[in-house]
Structure 1
Amino acid sequence: MKNKNIPFKIGHVLIQVDHLDTAILQYRQMGFQVVPGGLPGKAHNALIYLRNGSFLELFSTNHGKIINTMLKVMVKALGMFDRSYSCRLARFLPGCDGLRDYALDSIPATKYQDNIEKIRTNGLIISKPRPKSRVDHRGIRLKWTLSSPENISLPFLMSQYQPSMEIKEKDISHPNGALEIHELQITTSQWEKTYHEYSLLFGVKPEITLEKTGRSCFFPIQGTSIYLIENEKDGIERVVLSCSSQLVNTDTHAAPPSFILLKQ
């Protein structure tokens, strides 16, 4: 491995919901500040900003039976040209709610392209940057690019937003005390392959712990860690958020879903 300790942080974690407006209300009842991701009546996502610059993104791709069917056909057709990207997008089609994917931001953000080249040099297959954009709640069009590893079990890489997102103090002050992402728990049924490719991605080979239920290890990245766990399932199992002493109280706020753990 030529490039070691490639600097990343968790940029955001994607949470799929069936109905966005309902989810915004529910997450506010859990004690989160939720900011719409677009203009009123046009937003398809909403953001929960955290103090270390990361955020949770609620999103919905449920647009009704006809459009949902069209989306499935388009994603399937894309597979004829780019099977990996098609498989990644297929996870975002209307279906079960929950954790879907996550993004890594480079440190500093200007090292995005450099980090992609380092990862390729390490031997990991990753796509060329794809341009993306959306209009935020201020009516400003944000632009960025993303690159995806061929293995959809790995996170995608994000460039910085242009222009930068506007985040106010009230947006990161959560009544339930949530501060930042402490840990992401990732399960894999293909331990050797996933461990190897995560090692190429981060440029580090952490010590493996052998337990009764299987193998596990921690990939430390800035301010948090990726906890990789051998399991029969594949995907993001849980996001652990660190909290202030004002830990969530079910008497005051609704309990979060099982895939979100608030930890003091």
Structure 2
Amino acid sequence: MKGNCANEQKPKGEYNMSTFAIGHVLIKTNRLKQTASRYEELGFTVTYRVSPEKSHNAFIYFRDGSFLELFNPKPMNVADKLILALLRLLRPINPAMIKRYMHYIASKEGITDYAMDSVPVEQAEANLEGMKQAGARVGNKIKLSKKLPDGIKQTWWIAVFEDDTMPFLMSAYHPPIACLKHELAHRNGVRGIDCLVIDVPDLEAWILKYEPLGPRVNHSQQGKQCELFFEKQHKIILRKSDEYRLAEIHLLTSASLDEDLAIQPHESHGATLVLKQQPSCNFF
């Protein structure tokens, strides 16, 4: 997409903020194993970090450091209305996070949320504090952990904006677990994320929302969409529509394609994926 004007959008405040990239995109499923098998049929390598029998998520890792997370937000087979009732009682503990999790439970299968990571990752905590001091409406760190199969406890934190249409911020995992070579190799040739397409009712309002993340903004000639440029050559495309929706994930593949290959929601448990041939000058 070619634009007719480009301008730097700077966050309000005077802190020295590092840049961000898309860390991962969450794809909700009500049937994790079935969804993982389907993605394997589509040519992706799916990795579990804990026992598949106990896991509520699985990962598709890419060479650019990003990944897709297939996840079932329900910890047990309980009716949605009961889980939502419990979450309403817990809402005062962390209103923004509970609201986001309620959305996970109530939403349909498909693209549900996404995280932005600091580049470099060591700046994550400084970025969060700087954004808060500059007036961004983002909450405090929520510390998380899990025990890996080898018994090691892995920790990380997330922080969420009060506006649940915004991404959440995430630190690096500690200790980091390097991906094995075969976990990064996909039969369909996918190597990384190109962009996330988001339908929004008001382009200018959404551009302002992203100011704390400091993207470079490129408006399209038609005025129907705009591109937000981040590190790792990642983009978020805001596309004018009647309502907000996380619409599409565009992935770069080394496979030879005559045209972009669209994987429709009925083929991928609710997510629209578009495979695009990676430019020869853009290998990672």
Is residue 2:251 matched to residue 1:241?
yes
Contact 1:135–1:141 (8 Å) recurs in 2: yes
Is residue 2:274 matched to residue 1:261?
yes
Runs of 4+ in 1 over 6 A off after TM superposition: none
* In structure 2, C-alpha distance between the alignment counterparts of 1:60 and 1:163, rounded to whole Å: 24
Is residue 2:241 matched to residue 1:231?
yes
Alignment correspondent of 1:106 = 118
For structure 1, list consecutive stretches of 5 or more residues without a partner in the other structure.
Answer: none
Counterpart of 2:209 (choices 186, 197, 220) is: 197
Shift of 1:120: 2.3
Instruction: Identify if the C-alpha distance between structure 1 residues 258 and 113 changes in structure 2 by more than 3 Å, giving closer, same or farther.
Output: closer
Compute the TM-score of the two structures, normalised by the length of structure 1.
Answer: 0.87
Contact 1:133–1:142 (8 Å) recurs in 2: yes
* In structure 1, C-alpha distance between the alignment counterparts of 2:207 and 2:61, rounded to whole Å: 29
Q: Could you tell me which amino acid in structure 1 is paired with residue 201 of structure 2?
A: S
State the secondary structure of the residue aligned to 2:217: coil
Compute the TM-score of the two structures, normalised by the length of structure 2.
Answer: 0.82
Counterpart of 1:51 (choices 63, 83, 106) is: 63
Shift of 1:219: 1.2
Alignment correspondent of 2:154 = 142
Alignment correspondent of 1:217 = 226
* In structure 1, C-alpha distance between the alignment counterparts of 2:261 and 2:274, rounded to whole Å: 13
Contact 1:5–1:204 (8 Å) recurs in 2: no
State the secondary structure of the residue aligned to 1:208: strand
Shift of 1:216: 2.2
Shift of 1:170: 0.2
Contact 1:61–1:94 (8 Å) recurs in 2: no
Instruction: Identify if the C-alpha distance between structure 1 residues 136 and 100 changes in structure 2 by more than 3 Å, giving closer, same or farther.
Output: farther
Contact 1:35–1:171 (8 Å) recurs in 2: yes
Note the 1:145-160 alignment, pairs <5 A.
145-160=157-172
Contact 2:84–2:105 (8 Å) recurs in 1: yes
State the secondary structure of the residue aligned to 2:104: coil
Instruction: Identify if the C-alpha distance between structure 1 residues 4 and 113 changes in structure 2 by more than 3 Å, giving closer, same or farther.
Output: closer
Contact 1:20–1:60 (8 Å) recurs in 2: yes
Q: Could you tell me which amino acid in structure 1 is paired with residue 247 of structure 2?
A: E
Note the 1:1-264 alignment, pairs <5 A.
1=12, 2-3=14-15, 6-62=18-74, 63-66=76-79, 68-93=80-105, 95-199=107-211, 201-204=212-215, 206-209=217-220, 211=222, 215-223=224-232, 224-245=234-255, 256=268, 259-264=272-277
* In structure 2, C-alpha distance between the alignment counterparts of 1:38 and 1:202, rounded to whole Å: 32
* In structure 1, C-alpha distance between the alignment counterparts of 2:100 and 2:84, rounded to whole Å: 12
CA RMSD in angstroms comes to 2.5
Q: 1:158-195 CA distances to partner (integer Å, 9 max, x unpaired)?
A: 01101112310100000011110011111222444322
Q: Could you tell me which amino acid in structure 2 is paired with residue 168 of structure 1?
A: L
Contact 2:197–2:249 (8 Å) recurs in 1: yes
Shift of 1:134: 2.0
Instruction: Identify if the C-alpha distance between structure 1 residues 194 and 82 changes in structure 2 by more than 3 Å, giving closer, same or farther.
Output: farther
For structure 2, list consecutive stretches of 5 or more residues without a partner in the other structure.
Answer: 1-11, 278-284
* In structure 2, C-alpha distance between the alignment counterparts of 1:106 and 1:215, rounded to whole Å: 29
Contact 2:250–2:274 (8 Å) recurs in 1: yes
Instruction: Identify if the C-alpha distance between structure 1 residues 170 and 107 changes in structure 2 by more than 3 Å, giving closer, same or farther.
Output: same
Contact 1:38–1:139 (8 Å) recurs in 2: no
